[in-house]
Amino acid sequence: MTDLDDVRSLRATDASDMLGVVARLPLDARAGYDAGLAVDPVPIIDGITAVTYAGMGGSAVAGDILRSLFRDRLGVPVEVNRGPQLPAYCGPSTLLIASSYSGNTAETLAAFEEATARGCRVMALTSGGQLGHRASQLGVPVVGVPGGYMPRAALGHLAFGLLGALEAAGLLPRLAADVDEAVDEMARLITELAPEVPTTANPAKTIAATLGERTAVIWGAEGFAAVAAQRWRTQWNENAKLPAFAAAMPELDHNEVVGWSRGTGKHFGVVALRHDGEHEEIAARFAASLEIPAEAGAEIVEVQASGRAPLAQLCSLIVLGDLSATYTGLARGVDPSPIEAIDRLKAAIGGPA
């Protein structure tokens, strides 16, 4: 176990500096947005009827962000495709965005090749690898992402690179003001949640200390908070090396709540990710819904997004989740960065990491 207020021990346990990598998110977001705006050639979107974002794990999150923030403003559906097969509708009027941080993920490469064969408009988001190679062979737009990150930690580059490229293409409106706010909000939070700030004044450390070894169950309202909840789950898995679960409100009111029966909650912590843009019908459900796991013995934590626009609010939840998960891992004495199980599976399946 590592004392979260012993900064020297935190740094020693954090051998690959996940805390430092998370702290770079605002700078990465800014750099990603600029790289996206400069994409060359610019993706052609005339006449498209769908946007399909193909990616896995950490590289898929940018697609979820796009879908959750813009689905009510885009005239075309956005789908995130997590697997090698594409839906039947994908064809010449689909914009297919293949995103793989390493450029070597088998499922994403298969989706990219399938999209190319079907004549989709294709673009790529990658640091290189086979995807970068194939995209430059074919001359399709590529938003390049710097190497040297764990894929999940490259989110600033991937998500904001995607937004910049789709703004350059004319699919998204001008986002500069929203990006500025999101970058500033992330920077403010990173200072507030820094390793030097003691647990009593540091909400990320407090969440880590409150949940401890309890299994985290993250709730968020359908939309961007549900995307943040999934990000918390996967960061709990990868940075804290713990099982974790996520669910969206109001869907969870129609199934999960039944599972919180007497005594079942004692090894769990439910974290509700709230924001002031929740649909009023959903907002009204939270208090009564949270009482159910509380009565079952679960620890309950409620956090509120900060910032004004949805992009900043989503980023605020992501920063809090990334740091809470990292502190949880460090408190358990584990190095948050390595992902041995994923590496082992990729090697067993035969593809490059």
Residue 101 CB, nearest distance to ligand PA5 (Å)?
4
Question: Based on CB atoms, which residue is closest to ligand PA5, 28 or 238?
Answer: 238
Binding mask 54-83 for ligand PA5 (x = CB under 6 A): --xxxx------------------------
Return the number of other C-beta atoms located less than 10 Å from residue 43's C-beta: 22
By the rule CB under 6 A, 108 interacts with ligand PA5:
yes
Binding mask 235-274 for ligand PA5 (x = CB under 6 A): ---x------------------------------------
Q: How many residues bind ligand PA5 (CB under 6 A)?
A: 15
The residue from 150, 172, 183, 225 that contacts ligand PA5 (CB under 6 A) is: 150
Phi, psi of 271 (to 5 degrees): -110, 120
Residue spans of alpha helices (H) in the chain: 7-13, 18-23, 25-37, 61-70, 106-117, 129-138, 155-169, 176-192, 203-211, 224-240, 256-259, 280-283, 286-295, 310-331, 340-349
Catalytic residue among 114, 192, 222, 346: 346
Question: Based on CB atoms, which residue is closest to ligand PA5, 58 or 321?
Answer: 58
Q: DSSP of 174-189, one letter per residue?
A: --HHHHHHHHHHHHHH
By the rule CB under 6 A, 96 interacts with ligand PA5:
no
The whole-angstrom separation of Cα 157 and Cα 150 is 12
The residue from 105, 199, 202, 313 that contacts ligand PA5 (CB under 6 A) is: 105
Question: Based on CB atoms, which residue is closest to ligand PA5, 56 or 217?
Answer: 56
Instruction: Classify residue 245 by burial, with Cβ atoms within 10 Å: 0-12, 13-18, 19+.
Output: middle
Return the number of other C-beta atoms located less than 10 Å from residue 344's C-beta: 10
Q: DSSP of 54-77, one letter per residue?
A: EE-GGGTHHHHHHHHHHTTT-SS-
Cα-Cα-Cα-Cα dihedral of 339, 344, 349, 353, to 10°? 50
Active site residue 254: yes
Active site residue 346: yes
Tell which residue, 303, 316, 45, has the closest CA to residue 168.
45
Residue 18 CB, nearest distance to ligand PA5 (Å)?
12
Residue 199 CB, nearest distance to ligand PA5 (Å)?
27
Binding mask 1-40 for ligand PA5 (x = CB under 6 A): ----------------------------------------
The whole-angstrom separation of Cα 173 and Cα 170 is 7
Q: Which stretch binds ligand PA5 (CB under 6 A): 33-41, 53-61, 278-286, 313-321?
A: 53-61
Active site residue 238: yes
Catalytic residue among 254, 280, 281, 340: 254
Cα 145–Cα 179–Cα 188 angle in degrees, nearest 5:
100
Residue 132 CB, nearest distance to ligand PA5 (Å)?
11
Tell which residue, 35, 161, 30, has the closest CA to residue 100.
161
- Using CB under 6 A as the binding rule, the residues of this chain from 293 to 322 that contact ligand PA5 are none
What pairs with residue 245 in β-bridges?
217
């999934």: which residue's tokens? 230
By the rule CB under 6 A, 157 interacts with ligand PA5:
no
Question: Based on CB atoms, which residue is closest to ligand PA5, 230 or 313?
Answer: 230
By the rule CB under 6 A, 102 interacts with ligand PA5:
yes
By the rule CB under 6 A, 326 interacts with ligand PA5:
no
Q: Report CA torsion sign: 233, 325, 32, 130.
A: negative
- Using CB under 6 A as the binding rule, the residues of this chain from 175 to 214 that contact ligand PA5 are none
| CB 237 within 8 Å of CB 249 | no
Catalytic residue among 238, 256, 278, 299: 238
Q: Report the catalytic residues.
A: 238, 254, 346
Residues at the interface with ligand PA5 (CB under 6 A): 56-59, 100-102, 105, 108, 150-152, 238, 339, 342
